[in-house]
Amino acid sequence: MITIKSEEEIEIMVKGGKILAGIMKELKKQVKPGITTKELDRLAENLILKSGGKCSFKGHENFPTCLCTSINEEIVHAVPSNRILKEGDIISLDLGLCYEGYHADMAITVPVGKVKPEILRLIWITKKSLKRGIKKVKPGNTFGDIGWAIQNYVESNGFNVVRDLCGHGIGKELHEDPKILNYGKLHSGPEIKEGMVFCIEPMVVMGDWQIKESKDGFGWETKDGSLSCHFEAVVAVVHNGNKILTPIP
């Protein structure tokens, strides 16, 4: 069942989203060759606790850390470790925060030092596809409209969207209904209504969209080893359109 949030609930989520976006901005500044993903996780957790929030991911379905750090062919949910970031890598930072009983969840992909132009293009197209999806968020449209906008933009630029992973509703639970696919048909799926709050998160790959589970049992990566990019934002549906609760830095 898709829950409808009250104005008061959305205001709480606005506050949590603003805190999370600020933390993500700080994390982005720290991405550079030589840093380990475990160091980024430690910083993320310290910043969340300092803000008065809690880590949404740590302990969720036994996930061991606060931050997800997916590098290169890793798509989502990679566990931070002593792995050192290298010049030319790209890393997806995916972070969740619980503030006053409500969750916020966002992701960005960051180049590590200098990367190839085509990799920068992958990042740009993925980020732009998120914006294209968000533009479809308004009362009366459907969730298929969001997926269509993302898929159409990504594929027209020569990349592919991951089919087996998706966005989701969010609120008192980290993952709520509905599932929000990054592909679809116009005017299909449930109708978007005022008061809904959900995460849109395009995951875009350079190669084939098929995926495989990582060896640690938590993450997912591309089956063909091609590079992957991920952006995610929390969006609330308001009477005249939408409100982005986690602005992308």
Q: pLDDT for 187-221, tens place per residue? A: 999 999 999 999 999 999 999 999 999 988 999 99
- The binding site for substrate consists of 77, 175
As a whole number of angstroms, the distance between CA 53 and CA 39 comes to: 19
The two structure tokens encoding residue 70: 């997916």
For 1-28, how does the pLDDT look when each residue is reduced to its tens digit (9 = 90+)?
999 999 999 999 999 999 999 999 999 9
CB 103 within 8 A of CB 16: yes
What is the pLDDT, as a whole number, of residue 224?
Answer: 98
Mean pLDDT score, 57-71? 98
Q: Closest Cα to residue 198, out of 242, 150, 132?
A: 242
- The binding site for a divalent metal cation consists of 94, 105, 168, 201, 232
- DSSP conformation class of 64: -
The two structure tokens encoding residue 40: 């980024």
- The binding site consists of 77, 94, 105, 168, 175, 201, 232
Domain ranges, ordered by start, for the chain: 7-244
Q: Which fold has domain 7-244?
A: Creatine Amidinohydrolase (3.90.230)
CB atoms within 10 A of CB 225: 13
What is the pLDDT, as a whole number, of residue 9?
Answer: 98
CB 78 within 8 A of CB 71: yes
pTM for this entry? 0.97
As a whole number of angstroms, the distance between CA 22 and CA 167 comes to: 22
What is the pLDDT, as a whole number, of residue 175?
Answer: 98
